[in-house]
Chains A and B, each alone.
Chain A
Amino acid sequence: MPGSTDVGGRASGAHLVRKKRLFFPFFLPAVTLYVVFLVVPTLATVALGFTSWAGAGDTPEFTGFANYVELLSSDAFRYSFLNTLLYIVAGGVGTFLLAFLFTMVLRDMRGGKLIRAILFFPNIVAPVALGMFFSIVLIYRPNRQGLANHLLESVGLDAVKFLQAENVTWVVTGCLIWASSGFYITILMAAVDRIPPYLYEDADIAGATPWQKFRHVTLPLTWDVIGVAGVLWTIGAVKIFELVFVLAGPGTYSPPIRAWTLGVYVFDRSFGTQGTPEYGMACAAAVVMILLVSVLVVLLRRLMRRDTIQF
């Protein structure tokens, strides 16, 4: 059967058949691993979310939506859900505002490439290492302050208990924005670099301010890239775990529930718990994670959809 990629000529018919024969040996190893280790476990998680199960030694017992009802009335889950949403929304808004600001300034600035490279580096540092690093920088201890409070006190301000349960979520949001901004600045700047310079020159001639150039040139012409970047952000932020675990807690066991995220919730109810694990509840929370990311991604795509601009 001739395919659409038929390259013409006598050799191609038989060749195409041989090419197609290669498809399964090439594709099968990867897709098998993918299905066994990712697709099946995801489905299993969905199924286990409807059961009550304490893990090894116990048999899962079907309980319908009982886990989800219990999640709704659980303080730990409520904190986890709202904090995760906060990281996605507040962290996202912060990161993208910062990235936009940088695109306004960085476009024709000397040393722009160097700046991008420096800001990108935290993105390839292990979140555990980042968390431990921040936990020392943000220590509150009168007379022996961490770097952040040292700086605050040296300009005459009061030291802040950054890592206290009621502050820590905002503090982690800040750390997250700081650490990820380089990635999004790089993505957006790559798109900005593709915009023909004459558009900016025209705007300059018309006397446009940096904000007007951003609003009427940069933003419309990078819109699609911003949409993809938004999806990447959502996917990344929904699973935030190590940074919170290390910064908000004592290290080996879970932080106070006020600081939890969905990732922490799943871990605490299954592998990290001090008492009896609740695998069923953990799976239900994991399902919420995947629902949350799906809903937000679809919503974002809807919101960002528009006709492509040719330039």
Chain B
Amino acid sequence: MSTVDSRVSVAPRKPPRKPKPAPGSRGLSPLRVLGMAFVWLFTAVNLLVLYWLVSAAFKTPIEIFTKPFALPAHWFERGDPFRNFAYAWDNAGFGRAFLVTVVLVAVSSVVIVLVSAPAAYALTRLGARGADGMTNFVAIGMGVPFQTVVIPLFIGMAEVNLTNDLFGMFLVYVALSLPFTVFLLTGFFKSLPDELEEAAALDGASPLRTFRTIMLPLARGGLVTALILNAIGLWNETLLAIVFLNENANFTLARALFAFNSAASYQSEYGGLIAGVAIVVLPMLVLYLLLARRIITGLTLGAGK
């Protein structure tokens, strides 16, 4: 296609072989068309898969496997469209798990932010020596796989009777979410202007008061993002829940889903199984539809800067 030599350096312009396409009408090379087709196809498959998941949650196993793209019919005809959800809800103990998860995730996320925000503020705004080193020390925790801490942590928690205990789970969740959250919030605090802080100091506000009434409200966007990202992460967290919770009454949703998986597939209860998956996934989908931009920028923030 191309007639120029392979090295296209930008600075010394070559005389164009072709006239520049008029603004708005881009030259569509076959390669580009192919690429666009692939991108759209990939996206369409993603949407199809989502449709499959949602529709299958209302189907019988036979419908799922023989008519994967048809709309659900059987349970609707029987007047019991939510049969799979009811099955999963009853058999996997999702009712209680839902409650446990909502409370645990909400309380943990709030506490994580409450502990992380002052720490991030201290690391960026209080002019402490060695703050950068300490920030790195905390940030390194993001790279530690949970598997490397989980055994001593379990032993230690068992010593103080905090295994199979929701308060213990709460402590573990808060502590292990700190590196990411502190790191995320240092970014936000760093980006705030100095002037307001200085003005408050000149007006005689104490540093604590400056933090509470000026800086914290200014960083609200960051705090809300941190709250949402932690809520998403903990909602989906499974490994630690598997290790630390072993009684149905304490199960989180993801943990209950994990236990439900083998039981339901053993009984070929694929409709119920997919409904179970949907119960875990759909709240995230709703959240995503509402807050996609905030979630995406929050999660990809660290890499872009």
Mark A residues whose CB is within 8 Å of B.
3-7, 9, 11-12, 15-16, 18-23, 25-27, 29-31, 33-34, 36-42, 44-45, 48, 55-56, 101-102, 104-106, 108-109, 115-129, 132-133, 135-137, 139, 141, 144-147, 150, 183, 186-187, 190-191, 199, 202-213, 216-217, 225, 228-229, 232, 235, 238-239, 241-242, 246, 250-252, 262-263, 266-267, 270-271, 279, 282-283, 286-287, 289-290, 293-294, 297
Contact = CB atoms under 8 A, between A and B. Distances in A.
B299 interface: yes
Question: Which size bracket describes the interface of B in this complex?
Answer: 35 or more
Contacts of B22: none
26 contacts: A19-B207, A23-B128, A26-B211, A27-B123, A30-B182, A37-B149, A37-B172, A41-B150, A44-B152, A48-B151, A118-B43, A119-B42, A124-B288, A128-B254, A133-B53, A187-B300, A199-B10, A203-B8, A203-B10, A206-B10, A207-B3, A216-B10, A267-B243, A270-B150, A282-B151, A283-B151
Interface string B59-77: 0011011101000000000
B288 A204 contact: no
Given A36-B175, A124-B295, A208 B201 contact: no
B277 A144 contact: no
Closest 9 CB pairs of A and B: A251-B262, A37-B175, A126-B236, A30-B119, A44-B152, A26-B122, A5-B127, A26-B118, A239-B145
A243 to B, nearest CB: 10
Contacts of B42: 119
B292 interface: yes
Query: Main SS of the interface on chain B?
Result: helix
Contacts of B26: 108
Given A126-B236, A136-B270, A37 B126 contact: no
B100 interface: no
Contacts of A102: 39
A139 B152 contact: no
A16 B127 contact: yes
A147 B56 CA distance: 11
B2 A208 contact: yes
Contacts of A252: 258-259, 261-262
Contacts of B61: 144
B191 interface: no
Contacts of B155: 55-56
B85 interface: no
Interface string B144-172: 11111111111110100000000000011
A228 to B, nearest CB: 5
B116 A30 contact: yes
B174 A7 contact: no
A45 B304 contact: no
Contacts of B237: 126
B105 interface: no
Given A124-B236, A136-B273, A29 B254 contact: no
B142 A235 contact: yes
Contact of B288 (A121, A209, A287): A121
Contact of A238 (B50, B145, B151, B211): B145
A212 to B, nearest CB: 5
Contact of A242 (B38, B158, B171, B238): B238
Nearest to B229: A124
Given A22-B126, A128-B254, A150-B68, A121 B285 contact: yes
A279 to B, nearest CB: 6
B228 to A, nearest CB: 10
A11 B202 contact: yes
B149 A31 contact: no
B36 A105 contact: yes
